[in-house]
Amino acid sequence: PSPHPFPGVFSLQDIRNTVGNIPMEWYQDFPHIGYDLDGKKIYKPLRSKDELDLFLEKMENPEYWRTVEDRQTGAAVPLSEEQLELVQRLQRGHFGDVNFDPYEPSVDFFTHEVRIHPVTNRPADKRSFIPSLVEKEKVGESPEFRGEKLRRAGRSRWDREIGKIQDPNSVLGRHKMHVPAPKMPLPGHAESYNPPPEFLLSPEEERAWRQQDPSERRPGFLPRRFPSLRAVPAYPRFIHERFERCLDLYLCPRQRKMRVNVDPEDLIPKLPRPRDLQPFPTTQALIYRGHSSLVRTLSVSPSGQWLASASAWWPWPCECPLGTFPHSQIPRFPWNPNPSVCLVAVAVDEQVLLVNPGLGDRLLVAATDQLLDSWEAPEEERVQPARWVPAGPEERSKGIRLLVQHGKPVMQVTWHGKGDYWASVVRNPGGRQVLIHQSSRRWSQDPFRRSPGMVQCVRFHPLRPYFLVASQRSVRIYNLLRQELTKKLQSNCQWISSMAVHPGGDNVICGSYDSKLAWFDLDLSTRPYRLLR
């Protein structure tokens, strides 16, 4: 046994209690207080004295004031003179040992001379790098932080209860976050040992049931009929179904979904007044009917006066038809954005036609023809990825000035902002897909050494020397002057179908075949600023 703080109090008989260092309150309702070395119970002393007997003993017994109760045995033990002196010294705040001198001269273990070896080379403790909690409590008791302490103490009880529920380590949190496992469905009539006839399968149905995959069988067992319950054999799939049940409980996560009571009227957005949305079109100004089939594409002249449209076979401007083209593909015909040039690029099958529709000012039409006819053939013929062919007399009468033959079906044509350069996209997976052309010099070039993927569409930047190439899932931005990749935009779409650049040049939108619209801010990030559905 451990030494007692008051030596000499107990006899040999008192230290035989072998219960160990446990709370003695555990024996409060028992007649015994422990066990001796032989394992026998040590009974408590009889306490048959009432309050009157205790008062008389206090008045008559001169040793009553120094008598204490031993918690280990329950007996009353008087203290000796040495023990009383020890208690009095402790009450006065002195040391328990009489011979201890707290004011003895200290011995200086260190000298003023600096040594090359440290007295101790013990590494610094972890607590030396962590802010002290004791200092934090002292700072919190200062008047400067008393207002902050009152503010923290004024938190509502609701927040504290919510914190307890959300904390998975708290008892209340574990109780609230517990989600019971779903119970298995109760057996029906088909699982009876004597099911009704309508639940039994015919030979054809049983043959079809066995040919099905086990995961598709409905029901998952074969109903059987037995003459009595004693004739029912053991279920052969019992262990297998118990194992699947354990897998469902172990692997299938369960989550509690909190229901929110929301007024349905609050979910309906408040529509603005039509007056705040003005200006917007309010009157139908013109209807043009000239196509015999569905209109597929439109193109507006830079002046806004002329509109070109196309159906499956016929491209038309609103006031003067360009003619017919025998092809099986819907033509693409962007109008030249330069208002000083009257030119339309029409993509037809494997060639691009540069057409002067002859609309507007005669001087403008003549200047466009002069620009295209001023080209002089170089002395040495250069190898180009496309072939420039001048239009014949019959084609020239229809407005066609040049034919640029690509050798592959042309999917898209787009103009540069200044109106001299234009780009085309051909259907050639794994090969040359993008070509950049210059009308005044009749020159074509391939800007890429290797294919950047399956190109869907291209665009010129309206202000900067950038060239945007859209593949299936990304948009690459190239610097035409430095001839390097500047940025790559991730669209988060499955398949990009179209692309448009804002006239200011800071925003790009991409449409996709999975009904998404990705809006990019070029100054913000390479990820979509907003993804619309």
Q: Where are the domains of the chain?
A: 27-92, 298-375+384-532
The CA dihedral of 203, 208, 209, 215, to the nearest 10 degrees, is 180
Task: Look at 20 and 189; give whichever has higher pLDDT.
Answer: 189
Average pLDDT, the chain: 81
Provide the pLDDT for residue 152: 59
The bridge status of strand 351-355 relative to strand 400-405 is: antiparallel
Mean pLDDT of 79-83: 90
Fold that domain 298-375+384-532 belongs to in CATH: Methylamine Dehydrogenase; Chain H (2.130.10)
If 0-12 CB within 10 Å is exposed, 13-18 middle and 19+ buried, where does residue 446 land?
A: middle
pTM score, whole prediction? 0.47
> In the chain, pLDDT over 70 holds for what percent of residues?
86
Residue 467: pLDDT over 90: yes
To which residue do tokens 């990019």 refer?
520
Residue 506 neighbours by CB under 8 Å, 6+ apart: 521, 522, 523
Quick: pLDDT tens for 130-185.
888 888 777 766 666 665 555 555 555 445 545 544 555 555 555 566 778 888 88
Quick: pLDDT tens for 241-270.
999 999 888 888 777 777 778 888 888 888
Quick: pLDDT tens for 314-330.
444 433 344 444 444 56
Quick: pLDDT tens for 330-377.
667 888 888 888 888 888 888 898 888 888 788 888 888 888 888 887
Q: Give CA–CA dist 342/335, Å, rounded.
A: 8
Interior/surface letters 135-155, b for 16+ CB within 10 angstroms, e for the rest: eeeeeeeeeeeeeeeeeeeee
- H or E element that contains 373: helix 362-373
